Every structure is written in structure tokens, then in C-alpha cells.
Amino acid sequence: MKISEVMTPDPIVIEVPNRRSLLLRLMAKNRKTGLPAVKKGTMEFVGMVTREDILANPDINQVALLTNKNCSKVSPDEKIESAIKIITTTGKRHLPVVKGRKVVGIITPTNLLNVIISKGVKTPVSKLKTRPCVPAWRETPISVVAEIMRITGINALVVLDNAGKITGIVTDRDILNLTMIERFTEESLSGSGEDNDPWSWEGIRDLQTSHRSESRVNLPPIPVDQIMTRNPVSVFERATASLAAELMLKYDYSQLPIRDNDDRLCGMCYDIDLIRCLL
């Protein structure tokens, strides 16, 4: 199967030169965490820019300087295995599809979940998990949860109740969104923000500082169960890859907690792990 058969065609792009404020608005409006960058007035590929690039460079205002020009890319005529190998090896979720010099599409793990479903892959999810599963107690302060994410590099924690049962899931997006909303509220009341858009750079700057350990004390002193997604969809360890893919697409999840026969947490399956079954 060729990449052209599964990619998202005519992707949303950011033109360069441009300012990060427009980039952030495009990301927020279209619920994207990464966009291909192209030369202004054309679709000529320049590179990829992601939320991680923005957060890692809080003082850079020009999109061209935030863009990773040495990122991986694929041709629409290549086989999907090429894309899968790049995504699973690098851990990068956005892979631009380029024909000649022009961006014609983008491929992410989500695009490949449909392939798993169409093939009816029977591989158990327990055999596909590669990343550690990190749980948190429901009363854990979100500042501590943020520290756990920083230390482990895991961006989604399963939340357990007093009996050790799965009661929720929390992601870095939940914490970052909370930080952003609080900053935006403060700026709106004081009138000190750049504009009335919560995705202004002042708001995003706070997302970046929320990654610094010294800033985590500024998170509200509330337990994680107040911001987590309650009763998350999960799968049994013997569930098939195709079933897990269906659930991820249906509920727009990038990960699913895995339960054993005693209904206890035994792991986490990520979409990047799941697509390995296609190799």
C-alpha cells in the first residue's frame, strides 16, 4: 500500500516568513500540534514546526527559525512501511509527504490506524506495548503529576483510585491547557495581555514555563482527579490491535490503558506502538 492511499492530502500549512502568533492560532483553530512550513505563496516544503519546537524556543518569534528544516519526509509513492519505520524509530508524530518540492500531504499514526482495522490485525496489544506505564493516585497534586511527566518523559498517566482501580487518565495537554487558561484569565482581568486570544504568545509562553520545575509550584493546588478524563476507555491485555485502533479512532485517543484478567492496570498502549504491527 502506498503512502498516497492513507495520507491526509492538502494539509494545513504555515507560510514562512511569518510570526509565531499566526502559527499558534492555526494550531489552536485546527487542533494541530504540528504543521508543515512552506515558502510564502507556494507549497514548497521548508520543514516541520511542532508544539515541542515552540516550547523549546520561547524567545524565538519567527516561524522560519522555529522550523526543523532537517526533518524526515516521505514521497506519496513510497510504501507505508517507510513511514511506519520513521515514525516508530524517531517518535515523531507528524511526517510530511513531499512530491518534488511541494507538500502534498501529511501522515500521522492516526492515518495508519485505519490500515490496522482494514487488515483485521489480531496481534494482542500486550505484545505491542514498548513504553512504560506510569500511574498516579487520584489525590496526587497536579504539580506532582507534572513533575512525574517531566522526569519520566511520559505524557499520559493512568489515574488510580484507593483500591488501585483505573479511574481516569491525565495528559500533558490537560495540565498545559489548565495553565494556559489561568494565565489568560489573569491577563484578561489585568489588561496586560497582548490581545484577547488565549493562544497569544503570552499564553503559550506560560506553557513553556510550566515545563520548568521552578514554575510547577504555580499550578493550582488541586488533585489530579479534578482535571483528568474520568472512566477512560481501556482494553484487556488480550484485545486485538484492530479493536484498539477502532477505539482510538472512535474516541480520538492516542493511548489506551491495558487491563489484565483481574481488571487491574498492566500497561499502556500508544498509537505509535500499535502501528508496529504493520511492519
Mean pLDDT of 248-274: 93
Could you say which of 58, 79, 107 is where a domain stops?
A: 107
Give CA–CA dist 102/87, Å, rounded.
Answer: 21
Quick check: is 40 in a domain?
yes
Look at residue 179 and give its three-state secondary structure: helix
Domain that holds residue 220: 126-234+257-269
Same domain, 262 and 146: yes
Distance from C-alpha of 107 to C-alpha of 76, rounded to nearest angstrom: 10
What gap in Å lies between CA 14 and CA 18, rounded to an integer?
8
Could you tell me the three cell numbers for 28?
489552536
pTM above 0.85, yes or no: no
pLDDT tens digits, one per residue of 204-224: 444 444 444 333 336 778 999
- Say if 158 falls within a structural domain: yes
Specify whether 24 is located in the same domain as 152: no
* pLDDT, tens only, 166-190: 999 998 778 766 654 444 334 333 4
Asked whether residue 247 is domain-assigned, the answer is no
Cβ neighbours for 136, distance < 8 A, ≥ 6 positions apart:
144, 145, 148, 157, 158, 159, 160, 170, 224
Q: What is the pLDDT of residues 81-108, one digit of tens each?
A: 999 999 999 988 899 999 999 999 999 9
In a domain, 112, yes or no: no
